[in-house]
Amino acid sequence: MMQLDDLLSRYFYDTDVSSVTPDTLATGIERCLVELGLEQDRGKRFALWALLHMFGSAPDLEVAFEDDDDRGAARNFMDLLAGSEGNAKG
């Protein structure tokens, strides 16, 4: 299982995203994209894609996921995230 703090530490060298420099952010996103392209485990691919989505850098669902179920899960994730952002603003 991949934990958010572990992913942030691995790709951005810090769990506090607000302290990450723009160069480190760009490099981390690039590394994450490369690993997404290489990863074969569906769960890990989803975790990497979700992290990239939160940074606005995720590839299109058709590119990221071969399986319809995985694309559906990603759409659900996007909907949940959008709903939580709406609740935070209201």
Model confidence band, residue 84 (pLDDT cutoffs 50, 70, 90): confident
- Total domain count, the chain: 1
Which residues, in sequence order, are CB contacts of 15 under 8 Å at separation 6+? 5, 8, 9
Q: What is the tens place of the pLDDT at every residue in 11-51?
A: 999 999 899 999 999 999 999 999 999 999 999 999 999 99
pTM across the whole model: 0.86
End-to-end CA distance of the chain: 33
Q: Which domain holds residue 77?
A: 4-89
